[in-house]
């Protein structure tokens, strides 16, 4: 049993397939030492595992410690099509103010300066992207 197998777990059934309760606890304790995991049931252990997946770096997917860091990187270090792809911007957002607003609200919660004071640049880029979407929507309406 290795870390890759733990990362492939998507539900409690796939968790149970990893082995016996004691084997899983033993392996998890090796990974998270000096912490100690204790559980009497698969369900209790799975809850502990979900917490580890969210907060323990070795269990996290990708290079970012959290979504804020991920979006800050995309907004401040990438440009053009690559940035748009990573931010989930689609052509439909340029046509639909509702979709653009929904996209904007999801990201602004993470990079707004009131929440993350060091994210001024990321917030400014987000604002600019959103304004371009809205301007494009207005231009389309003017043509009609």
Q: Model confidence over 46-77: pLDDT tens digits?
A: 999 988 887 787 776 677 878 888 999 999 99
pTM: 0.60
Q: What is the pLDDT of residue 142?
A: 54
Q: What is the pLDDT of residue 121?
A: 93
What are the residue ranges in the chain where pLDDT is below 70?
60-61, 139-144
Residues 6+ apart with CB under 8 A from 39: 21, 25, 45, 48
Q: HEC states along the chain?
A: CCHHHHHCCCCHHHHHCCCCHHHHHHHHHHHHCCCCCCCCCHHHHHHHHHHHHHHCHHHCCCCCCCHHHHHHHHHHHCCHHHHHHHHCCCHHHHHCHHHHHHHHHHHHHHHCCCCCHHHHHHHHHHHHHHHHHHHHHHHHHHHC
CATH of 67-143, one of 1.10.287, 2.40.50, 1.25.40, 2.30.30: 1.10.287
Annotated domain spans of the chain: 3-59, 67-143
Q: What is the pLDDT of residue 67?
A: 85
Q: What is the pLDDT of residue 62?
A: 72
């Amino acid at each position: 049993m290795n870390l890759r197998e733990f990362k492939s777990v998507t539900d409690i059934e796939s968790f149970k397939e990893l082995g016996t309760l004691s084997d899983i606890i033993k392996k998890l304790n090796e990974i998270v030492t000096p912490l100690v995991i204790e559980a009497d049931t698969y369900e209790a252990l799975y809850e502990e595992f979900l917490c580890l997946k969210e907060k323990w770096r070795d269990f996290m997917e990708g290079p970012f410690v959290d979504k804020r860091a991920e979006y800050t990187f995309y907004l401040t270090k990438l440009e053009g099509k690559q940035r748009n792809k990573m931010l989930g911007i689609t052509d439909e957002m340029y046509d639909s103010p509702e979709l653009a607003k929904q996209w904007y609200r999801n990201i602004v919660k993470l990079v707004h300066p009131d929440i993350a004071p060091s994210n001024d640049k990321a917030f400014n880029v987000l604002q600019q992207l959103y304004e371009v979407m809205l301007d494009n929507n207005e231009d389309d309406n003017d043509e009609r």
